[in-house]
Amino acid sequence: MTEQSLKKAKLIELKEDLTSELSGGKSIDVQFNPDTLKVTYANQVVQPEGGNQAAGTSGRQFIGAGTTKLALTLWFDVTAMTENAVDDVRRLTKDVIHFMTPKASEQDSTKLVPPGTRFSWGSFIFDGMVEGLEESLEFFSPEGKPLRASITLTLSQQKILVSTFEGSGAVSRAGARPFASAKQGDSVQSMAATSGKGGDWQGIASANGIEDPLRMDAGQFVDLNASVGATVSASASLSIGASAATSISAVVSSPPTISLGSVPAPPALPQLGFN
């Protein structure tokens, strides 16, 4: 089994209106993936003029604006580099500072605006502008050159961003196919029918090791793409059929004879309920 490659987070330069990637813009892979992403949502509300602040929040008005912010920390360490090593960590962090640096606006060259920035890591994508950046230099060489740094980034978007996901909401795990989560009252048959695979629900139940496909626990995960296949189902049917035939054959076989001297007794007739 081959080792799964690690998905690296990226910073990608966007157009200033955040509609698409900037042609020829900067794109970098982070050196170490962050261990935490913090997403903050906020609505903008105001107190109308002449409003009674003592009345609490009843007089406050939502003005139709909101913000979403992403905060994360990126680490850089040149002592961990085995290829293309550098002697100063700032040679790496300057690529991140690029996303903070204002440049001439695409719509008005007399104005300076920071570039649009996309943080992308697997299924997590955040488009916005770098609102704040803090760099900490934490380890120095004998020559006084910084070798390790952390950068705290804050990106913001002037609206409430709603997360979107690929697929039908199935739960996924790294290195595994997506699993569907059973709801209260679900059965393997109903879940397979919903996914368009109702004709193979027996195979799905068998492949998932489900002993009672009619009674599913709420939250139980099922791989609806797994199946033992029609061949196994057919074999099982033939096996059941053969067993049934063997049982029937045993029932209709000739009844035993009772020896009375040298003349065998005739077979007993079935009781039909007549006197």
Contact 252, 270 (CB under 8 A): no
Mean pLDDT of 49-69: 62
List helix spans (H) across the chain: 90-97, 188-194, 201-207, 229-252
224 assigned to some structural domain: yes
pLDDT digits (tens, 9 = 90+) for 29-58: 999 999 999 999 887 666 666 555 555 555
Give the residue carrying structure tokens 């994360």. 72
Last residue of a domain, one of 210, 229, 248: 229
Same domain, 151 and 176: no
Q: Of 4, 21, 211, whose CA–CA distance to 122 is shortest?
A: 4
Same domain, 92 and 143: yes
Same domain, 175 and 149: no
Reply yes or no on whether the pLDDT at 235 is more than 70.
Answer: no
Reply yes or no on whether the pLDDT at 148 is more than 50.
Answer: yes
What's the domain range around 36?
10-48+61-157
Last residue of a domain, one of 157, 179, 208: 157
pTM of the model: 0.54
CB atoms within 10 A of CB 72: 21
Mean pLDDT of 245-265: 41
- Structurally, how many domains does the chain consist of? 2
Same domain, 28 and 146: yes
Arithmetic mean of pLDDT over the chain: 74
DSSP annotation of 4? P
Q: Of 45, 47, 35, whose CA–CA distance to 66 is shortest?
A: 45
Same domain, 68 and 135: yes
pLDDT digits (tens, 9 = 90+) for 207-220: 777 878 887 776 67
Same domain, 16 and 143: yes
53 assigned to some structural domain: no
Last residue of a domain, one of 102, 126, 157: 157
pLDDT digits (tens, 9 = 90+) for 102-122: 998 888 888 999 899 999 998
Same domain, 115 and 184: no
Reply yes or no on whether the pLDDT at 62 is more than 70.
Answer: no
Instruction: Give dist(CA 86, CA 82) in Å, integer.
Output: 10
CB atoms within 10 A of CB 263: 7
Give the pLDDT of residue 18: 87
Give the pLDDT of residue 95: 94
Lowest pLDDT segment from 98-102, 174-178, 224-228: 174-178
Same domain, 21 and 143: yes
54 assigned to some structural domain: no
